Amino acid sequence: MASIVSTGMSKFGNDSRKLMDHLLEASAGIVEQFRDTIDYVVLSTPYTLAFNGASGISSAFTSISGLVDVPYMSVENTSASGSSAILAARSMIESGQADHVLVVGGEKMNSYPTRTVSRIIATLLAKEEASAGLTLPSVAAFTAKEYINRYACPRESIANVAVQNHHNGSLNPLAHFQKEIPMEKVMESRVIADPLRLFEFCPISDGAAALFVVKDDLAESFTKNPINVLSAESSSDTSYLSMRSSFIDIPSIRSASVKAFRKAALKPEDIDVVELHDMASILEIVELEEMGIFPRGHAWEMIDSGYTALNGELPVNTGGGLISRGHPLGATGIAQAVEIAEQLSCKAQGRQVKNHDVGLSLNMAGYGNNANVIIYGVS
């Protein structure tokens, strides 16, 4: 089994730092303390060729970090690259290829105007559909309309996800946004894809996150509070969104969740804290249902009731989620694991949740083109 024994994160946001600055900042604590122990590096910087005109970042990163003769590779799986890097690291450890893996992921997206950034992200869509004008925000908007119609969900209940995640982010000193955004402000913000508005989407963020993952029987020598990866599963769906039966069904999330719960021998009700892929507000609702945490059509009521709030029964996106922490593509899956590890080891300070034995993260590529679900437990 693989255990997380140390974590790191750069301040997410939009500033003048370069991708390498973020990667080094996120990993500095781990590298300084464990440089001679690290025996594999897995990187996740999937869009760096497009955003930063660089390739072979894993080579540059290990060189600059002074990691001598350490093997490495980079993993690409669009917006789920970070969690795929965790899955790869876990396989390295469980196969005996490595015992001490540094996982680092990041993205510097604010290198071009929004228009160019959107065009780069759209390279993950099926070409025929992208050239027909499809964008990820527009799919989120279709999903919201379908959900509202089918389940008589009030419009404000969708926006409430953004209110809650911005609240959580206001307590996370590394989040991109650290400000409360009240309901009126969400509902008055600019329409991005009708009915969804600006504050309901993740921003364009720069940032990096890092994990030090080791073989579980070595974990005790690094920390008193190792976080075990109980299961880490992946499922996929067609990349042709027009071939999906409905936008509120995301079968890859359902399938990966079923596998992850089964392999961890746990049920949804065993989970204490969740990080999920709220690229847009509506996705938090749909994902909670697809993971089997709430019944279909009811997640919005549970969110409205405070069940998923920081002090609720099952806090969700305690770090602010993609909406408030930000979504540097290569970092997100790793930042989710950082947040879960901090919660489970009681280091989340102002946003610490009360129950913290078992955590779950969901990271999604494209619009459910694939989904990675990881379940974490204290040992």
* Binders of a copy of itself in range 21-50 (CB under 8 A): 46-47, 49-50
**Binding track over 199-228 against a copy of itself, x by CB under 8 A:** ------------------------------
In this structure, are residues 5 and 89 in contact, taking their beta carbons and an 8 Å threshold?
no
Asked if 123 interacts with a copy of itself (CB under 8 A), we say: yes
Distance CA 170, CA 345 (A): 21
Total residues interacting with a copy of itself, rule: CB under 8 A: 55
Q: Which residue's CB is nearer to a copy of itself, number 54 or number 187?
A: 54
Q: Which of 27, 62, 205, 361 binds a copy of itself (CB under 8 A)?
A: 62
Distance CA 152, CA 83 (A): 34
CB atoms under 10 Å from CB of 130, counted, come to 16
Determine the interface stretch with a copy of itself among 76-84, 157-165, 166-174, 336-344 (rule: CB under 8 A).
Answer: 76-84
Distance CA 369, CA 255 (A): 12
* Closest by Cα among 109, 22, 106, 24 to 67: 24
Q: Which residue's CB is nearer to a copy of itself, number 238 or number 305?
A: 238
**Binding track over 141-180 against a copy of itself, x by CB under 8 A:** ----------------------------------------
**Binding track over 79-118 against a copy of itself, x by CB under 8 A:** -----x--xx-xxxxxxxx---------------------
Q: Which residue's CB is nearer to a copy of itself, number 46 or number 359?
A: 46
**Binding track over 359-378 against a copy of itself, x by CB under 8 A:** ------xx--xx--------
Give the residue carrying structure tokens 């119609």.
Answer: 149
Asked if 53 interacts with a copy of itself (CB under 8 A), we say: yes
**Binding track over 234-253 against a copy of itself, x by CB under 8 A:** xxxxxxx----------xx-
* Closest by Cα among 78, 18, 8 to 45: 78
* Binders of a copy of itself in range 249-308 (CB under 8 A): 251-252, 255
Instruction: Give the distance between the most distant pair of CA atoms in the chain.
Output: 59
- Closest approach, Cβ 374 to a copy of itself, in A, equals 13
Per residue in 210-221, is it b (16+ CB within 10 Å) or e — as a string?
Answer: bbbbbbbeebee
Q: Which of 3, 7, 27, 58 binds a copy of itself (CB under 8 A)?
A: 58
Structure tokens at 118: 């959107």
Q: Which residue's CB is nearer to a copy of itself, number 2 or number 271?
A: 2
Structure tokens at 47: 């869009």
In this structure, are residues 219 and 379 in contact, taking their beta carbons and an 8 Å threshold?
yes
Question: Which amino acid would we find at residue 251?
Answer: P
34 — phi, psi (to 5°)? -125, 20
- Closest approach, Cβ 68 to a copy of itself, in A, equals 8
In this structure, are residues 237 and 369 in contact, taking their beta carbons and an 8 Å threshold?
yes
In sequence order, the 6+-apart residues with CB closer than 8 A to the CB of 69 are none
Distance CA 203, CA 78 (A): 16
Task: Provide the binding-site residues for a copy of itself, judged by CB under 8 A.
Answer: 46-47, 49-50, 53-56, 58-60, 62-63, 67, 69-78, 84, 87-88, 90-97, 120, 123-124, 126-127, 233-240, 251-252, 255, 365-366, 369-370
